[in-house]
């Protein structure tokens, strides 16, 4: 059986202060393990995007039912090292109406080659359209560019209003 260890694991309510702590831990632990600085930058950048998505896209809980759901399905973030790979897992509750548009984004990103991803990234930057949640829609594009392969994701239905969104990103410790 191969070597596996958690570099960082977080579960619960997320805020900017917690994100800063998690990101500091990632840098510190990866540096301690002698990981190539370029690999660290890739993992760090993807971590920023995942944590930001959890913070921005998790519902706030406007009634008792929603608050109970959020307590039972907290936001999660884990970075593990498994032999020569790093696996980043992120998950959070999302509104049911967000699922189909998100699946469509994943399908589009999976179909694009590196140059097309770069073009889409530039196009989004130039458009500078900021959503009501404060994002420009760049997070998944950035992650796709960083890993150069399909992002693995899943949705677990909670009820008619919410699902739990989980994604997994794999990084090689060896630069491609």
Residues 139/49, Cβ–Cβ less than 8 Å: yes
pLDDT digits (tens, 9 = 90+) for 94-152: 999 999 999 988 888 888 777 776 767 677 666 765 555 545 467 787 888 878 778 89
CATH architecture of 4-172: 2-Layer Sandwich (3.30)
**Host H or E run for residue 81:** strand 76-82
- Average pLDDT in the chain: 86
Helix (H, G, I), strand (E, B) or coil at 10: strand
Across the beta sheet with 152-157, the strand order is 4-11, 76-82, 85-95, 162-172, 152-157
Can you give the C-alpha Rg of the chain in angstroms?
Answer: 16
pLDDT digits (tens, 9 = 90+) for 33-49: 999 999 999 999 999 99
pLDDT at 142: 82
pLDDT at 89: 97
If pLDDT is split at 50, 70 and 90, which confidence band does 24 have?
very high
pLDDT at 1: 39
**Number of Cβ atoms within 10 Å of the Cβ of 77:** 23
pLDDT digits (tens, 9 = 90+) for 56-81: 889 887 889 889 999 999 999 999 99
* Domain assignments of the chain as residue spans, ordered by start: 4-172
| pLDDT beyond 50 at 87 | yes
Across the range 21-30, mean pLDDT stands at 97
According to DSSP, residue 59 is labeled -
Q: Residue ranges of the alpha helices (H) in the chain? A: 16-32, 37-57, 64-72, 99-111, 114-127, 139-147
């Amino acid at each position: 059986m191969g070597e596996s260890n958690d570099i960082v694991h977080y579960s619960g309510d997320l805020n900017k202060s917690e994100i800063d702590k998690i990101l500091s831990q990632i840098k510190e632990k990866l540096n301690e393990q002698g990981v190539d600085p370029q690999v660290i930058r890739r993992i760090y950048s993807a971590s920023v995007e995942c944590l930001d998505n959890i913070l921005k896209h998790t519902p706030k809980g406007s009634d008792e039912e929603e608050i109970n759901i959020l307590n039972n399905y907290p936001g999660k973030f884990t970075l593990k090292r498994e032999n020569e790979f790093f696996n980043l897992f992120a998950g959070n509750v999302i509104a049911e109406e967000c699922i189909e548009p998100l699946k469509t984004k994943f399908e589009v990103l999976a179909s694009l080659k590196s140059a097309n991803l770069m073009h889409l990234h530039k196009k989004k930057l130039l458009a500078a359209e900021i959503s009501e949640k404060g994002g420009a829609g760049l997070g998944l594009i950035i992650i796709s560019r960083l890993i150069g392969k399909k992002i693995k994701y899943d949705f677990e239905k909670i009820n008619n209003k919410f699902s739990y969104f989980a994604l997994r990103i794999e990084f090689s410790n060896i630069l491609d």
